């Protein structure tokens, strides 16, 4: 990685709007070799694969496919969970034919009142499945977890006292009451989040079976890949409507969720919650976190080529609005928080706003207002955006907007 001390503090972030400078975004409807894209067929057959390849080569690294031997084991099922309101299932997804080795644990809640296959919100969590709810039956992860002295996590081990630690970020009851299921897994099952974490994560464990070297993708790629494996499971569970899955991700996991959605069109909706630099925010807009800071603080997240653009994001062959465009024509929600200037709310808005012409190709409307909306005022139709008041977090307000959006977009929801 690039040692932080080599970077002038000034170059690594900026909170002064007058210093943002000017930039020209790479075009959405023109191929890298100058051809105009005017039809959905040209978009799907020419521009989409070209952009995916540019992002793989320069930003996130290549994403391998579904491994042979992938299989699932339901390890527990309770039809009377959460005081009778939910069905809880815990499933282990094994990435190889053996019931040992690389795997991830999925926690699934389904609304008890459901009559048929339910639409689902899915996403990875930061601290283990047991932190999304106080439910005593959730398996506590035995994997490496980040130290958190305030929460009493020491020795990189999760413990009983951390049940429900991040419950405010998942609002399980609210999601179930609204008729949706929720599936989540711990991102550390795929790769522990520190520079050497790849050594014990799937990038190393699966490099032979997936025929991909650890340095061809980064941790974000590993997390993104894992979300597609959860979708593989959904497709086998008759209680789930796999055609109505909304993938949600916060912050670094939001960056990964966008990359998943760009690659895996099985996800019907993508939600980026304050994904910031390397996520929804424009790289060329020099505000908040920068590419240089991202790559120095988190050298393991991206493809090594991304570091070449540390000091010259203007030379990146892509910018992040093109990543958002890869979600088209599927519904996309980009959310910012006002006090989270690090993620550059305006850069997230401008990038979400820019994809309108791609959605228009598919006769869908994006965000038609040029100005950023006021606080807590969602705007846009198939591409939606809000800037919530408050800090870098996921709140009930955020979820309520996602649920309303899903109600509208999944209008044939049961």
Report, as residue numbers or ranges, the catalytic residues.
251, 392
Contact pick of 105, 135, 216, 289 for ligand GCU (by CB under 6 A): 289
Is residue 254 within 8 A of residue 274, CB to CB? The reply is yes
Choose between 118 and 271: whose C-beta lies nearer to ligand GCU: 271
Q: How far apart are CA 97 and CA 391, in angstroms?
A: 43
Beta strands 181-186; 103-111: pairing state:
antiparallel
Choose between 276 and 380: whose C-beta lies nearer to ligand GCU: 276
Q: How far is the CB of 274 from ligand GCU (least distance, A)?
A: 7
Residues 5-64 that bind ligand GCU (CB under 6 A): none
Alpha helices in 199-290 (DSSP H): 202-205, 207-210, 219-234, 252-263
Choose between 342 and 405: whose C-beta lies nearer to ligand GCU: 342
297-336 footprint of ligand GCU as x/- string (CB under 6 A) = x---------------------------------------
Q: How far is the CB of 219 from ligand GCU (least distance, A)?
A: 11
Choose between 102 and 318: whose C-beta lies nearer to ligand GCU: 318
Q: Please tell me whether residue 294 binds ligand GCU under the rule CB under 6 A.
A: yes
Q: How far is the CB of 275 from ligand GCU (least distance, A)?
A: 6
Ramachandran quadrant class, 204 (left: phi over 0; alpha: psi -120 to 50; beta: rest)? alpha
Q: How far is the CB of 226 from ligand GCU (least distance, A)?
A: 16
Contact pick of 105, 277, 340, 344 for ligand GCU (by CB under 6 A): 277
Choose between 253 and 367: whose C-beta lies nearer to ligand GCU: 253
Is residue 333 within 8 A of residue 271, CB to CB? The reply is yes
Q: Please tell me whether residue 252 binds ligand GCU under the rule CB under 6 A.
A: yes
Q: How far apart are CA 18 and CA 203, in angstroms?
A: 41
Q: How far apart are CA 143 and CA 127, in angstroms?
A: 10
Q: How far apart are CA 325 and CA 160, in angstroms?
A: 42
Choose between 15 and 362: whose C-beta lies nearer to ligand GCU: 15
Compute, in degrees rounded to 10, the torsion defined by CA atoms 51, 52, 54, 60.
140
Residues 104-163 that bind ligand GCU (CB under 6 A): none
Choose between 89 and 127: whose C-beta lies nearer to ligand GCU: 127
Contact pick of 129, 251, 273, 290 for ligand GCU (by CB under 6 A): 251
Q: How far apart are CA 127 and CA 199, in angstroms?
A: 19
Token pair of 350 as six digits = 């401008």
Q: How far is the CB of 12 from ligand GCU (least distance, A)?
A: 10
Q: How far is the CB of 173 from ligand GCU (least distance, A)?
A: 25
334-353 footprint of ligand GCU as x/- string (CB under 6 A) = --------x-----------
Query: What length is written for the chain?
Result: 414
Q: Please tell me whether residue 193 binds ligand GCU under the rule CB under 6 A.
A: no
Compute, in degrees rounded to 10, the torsion defined by CA atoms 402, 148, 161, 92.
60
Where does this chain touch ligand GCU (CB under 6 A) — which range of 98-106, 161-169, 256-264, 289-297? 289-297
Contact pick of 197, 276, 345, 380 for ligand GCU (by CB under 6 A): 276
Q: How far is the CB of 25 from ligand GCU (least distance, A)?
A: 20
Q: How far apart are CA 220 and CA 249, in angstroms?
A: 12
Token pair of 46 as six digits = 């020419």
Cis-peptide, bond into residue 329, ω within 30° of zero: yes
Q: How far apart are CA 73 and CA 224, in angstroms?
A: 21
CA atoms within 13 A on the CB side of 214: 14
Choose between 162 and 336: whose C-beta lies nearer to ligand GCU: 336
- Under DSSP, is residue 275 helix (H, G, I), strand (E, B) or coil? coil
Q: By rule CB under 6 A, what count of residues binds ligand GCU? A: 8
Ramachandran quadrant class, 41 (left: phi over 0; alpha: psi -120 to 50; beta: rest)? alpha
Q: How far is the CB of 289 from ligand GCU (least distance, A)?
A: 5
Is residue 398 within 8 A of residue 249, CB to CB? The reply is no
Contacting residues toward ligand GCU, per CB under 6 A: 251-252, 276-277, 289, 294, 297, 342
């Amino acid at each position: 990685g690039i040692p932080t001390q080599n970077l002038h503090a000034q170059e690594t972030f900026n909170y002064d709007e007058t210093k943002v400078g000017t930039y020209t975004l790479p075009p959405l409807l023109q191929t890298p070799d100058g051809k105009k894209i005017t039809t959905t067929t040209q978009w799907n057959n020419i521009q989409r694969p070209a952009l995916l390849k540019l992002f793989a080569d320069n930003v996130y690294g290549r994403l391998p496919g579904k491994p042979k031997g992938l299989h699932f084991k339901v390890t527990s099922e309770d039809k009377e969970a959460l005081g009778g309101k939910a069905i809880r299932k815990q499933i282990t997804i094994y990435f190889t034919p053996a019931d040992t080795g690389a795997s991830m644990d999925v926690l699934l809640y389904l609304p008890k009142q459901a009559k048929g296959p339910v639409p689902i919100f899915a996403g990875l969590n930061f601290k283990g499945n047991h932190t999304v709810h106080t439910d005593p039956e959730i398996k506590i992860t035995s994997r490496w977890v980040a130290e958190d002295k305030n929460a009493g996590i020491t020795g990189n081990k999760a413990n009983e006292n951390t049940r429900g630690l991040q419950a405010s970020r998942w609002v399980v009851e609210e999601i179930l009451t609204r008729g949706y299921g929720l599936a989540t897994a711990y991102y550390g099952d795929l790769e522990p989040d520190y520079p050497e974490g790849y050594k014990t994560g799937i990038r190393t464990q699966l490099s032979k079976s997936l025929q991909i070297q650890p340095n061809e993708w980064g941790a974000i790629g590993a997390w993104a890949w894992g979300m597609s494996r959860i979708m593989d499971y959904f497709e086998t569970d008759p209680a789930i409507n796999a055609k109505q899955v909304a993938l949600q991700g916060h912050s670094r996991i939001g960056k990964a969720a966008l990359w998943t959605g760009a690659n895996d069109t099985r996800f019907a909706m993508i939600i980026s919650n304050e994904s910031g630099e390397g996520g929804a925010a424009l790289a060329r807009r020099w505000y908040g976190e920068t590419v240089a800071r991202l790559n120095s603080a988190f050298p393991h997240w991206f493809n090594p080529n991304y570091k070449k653009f540390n000091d010259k994001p203007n030379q990146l062959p892509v910018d992040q609005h093109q990543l958002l465009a890869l979600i088209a024509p599927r519904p996309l929600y980009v959310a910012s928080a006002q006090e989270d200037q690090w993620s550059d709310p305006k850069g997230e808005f401008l990038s979400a706003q820019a994809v309108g012409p791609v959605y228009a190709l598919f006769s869908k409307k994006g965000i038609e207002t040029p100005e950023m909306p006021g606080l807590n005022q969602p705007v846009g139709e198939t591409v939606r955006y809000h800037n919530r008041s408050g800090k870098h977090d996921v709140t009930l307000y955020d979820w309520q907007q996602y649920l309303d959006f899903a109600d509208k977009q999944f209008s044939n929801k049961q």
